[in-house]
Structure 1
């Protein structure tokens, strides 16, 4: 009888410790498929040319690590692909990459753009009903822009740019008890000098699996990224990328 009681006590203690460790320490990994539309344009002198961009299926992947150590922030790293192509009929002369494209000519644009977010944040609330995170995001933008005359493919202007942009970060999440459903809104924001950047998403979530070893959550939501750049590596833009997404997040 005593051996049985001791054994049960050990099992209970181990289960309690595992549950507490899972609450205090967490590794998250997620992937999203984004049905992205792009609007706007870009230039090298502030006279932005607008293009009619294609709709694209793009990807977003991320990983986050959370811990209970005071004063040391949690870490999230995220990589988003925003490549797209477009075309337009120029209504005035347009210079890009040192090349002159004349009015009324047809031009295509290839935008090869990605962003890498390195986010340091603190959790001010963290339970099954509500969680709130706040911190900073060092968003690193890297892009290559190519403009080509459709009638004369040898006439091509090319520019590339890259650089970090510091942003504020926050995330608010609510759980609906006993349903498996939840909602969250997450975003990074900046308005400094002549740059104005926003990156936000909102989603409904549903728990597909939840146990001590592994949690799996399905996400269905909407994301929008706005890049109003003023002379970032000699590039000006008023681009917006937006659309619905679906994703899976795994919590170890």
Structure 2
């Protein structure tokens, strides 16, 4: 009886380990041709693991270079997979966005802003899938809401072509010498690789 229970436990553990992802990664690049602020480029990466309670890691970098507004931003966040069943994937997390080398109408700014993150993908195992990303942050000097929605087309080996629409509201009224907010918007195009 003990041998049967032990054998069943080993088989169950073996199946569970075989099904679990040992480690996974997502990489992406977006070129955003905004309607009012020139070119905006973003690269991002995510690392996922099967360790319970330990959050997955996401990082990102964006660069905006326009006569009116320019900045570099760096993202770092931890997130959890709330759902992932083939039809819907939902990730929720917390992190920070660092604004660096910022200039707005000849006034300089920089800030580190805590943020909430949400990432949703529908039908991610299909040839065509739909996605949405939301980053929302607030500090004493800077508030922002960064929302992107779009569609992905599966190419090969986990690589997808993606295109969507993005709006980025940034309020810098608390920053010294700056009393205004901006809405950056437009269509973007890029690649998303789910390894």
TM-score by shorter chain over 0.5: yes
Aligned to 1:27: 25
Q: What are the residue-to-residue correspondences of 1:202-221 with 2, within 5 Å?
A: 202-210=149-157, 215-221=158-164
Q: What are the residue-to-residue correspondences of 1:15-94 with 2, within 5 Å?
A: 20=19, 23-38=21-36, 55-85=37-67
Answer whether contact 2:72 2:102 (CA < 8 A) is retained.
no
Q: Distance in 1 between matches of 2:104 and 2:42?
A: 23
Aligned to 2:7: none
**1:174 alignment partner, one of 97, 118, 122:** 122
Answer whether contact 2:140 2:174 (CA < 8 A) is retained.
no
How much does 1:166 deviate? 0.5
Gaps of 5+ in 1: 1-15, 39-54, 86-108, 148-157
Q: Distance in 1 between matches of 2:132 and 2:170?
A: 19
When the two chains are superposed, the root-mean-square deviation of aligned CA atoms in Å is 2.5
Answer whether contact 1:82 1:241 (CA < 8 A) is retained.
no
Q: Distance in 1 between matches of 2:82 and 2:162?
A: 23
Aligned to 1:239: 182
Aligned to 2:72: 114
Q: Distance in 2 between matches of 1:71 and 1:176?
A: 24
Give the number of equivalent residue pairs.
Answer: 181
Aligned to 1:188: 135
How much does 1:185 deviate? 0.9
Q: What are the residue-to-residue correspondences of 1:137-176 with 2, within 5 Å?
A: 137-145=95-103, 147=105, 158-175=106-123
What's the TM-score, normalizing by structure 1? 0.64
Gaps of 5+ in 2: 1-14
Answer whether contact 1:137 1:188 (CA < 8 A) is retained.
no
Q: Distance in 2 between matches of 1:206 and 1:17?
A: 31
Q: Deviations over 1:12-62 (max 9, x none)?
A: xxxx999746x3421111111111133xxxxxxxxxxxxxxxx52331111
Computing the radius of gyration from Cα coordinates, the structure with the larger value is 1
How much does 1:235 deviate? 3.3
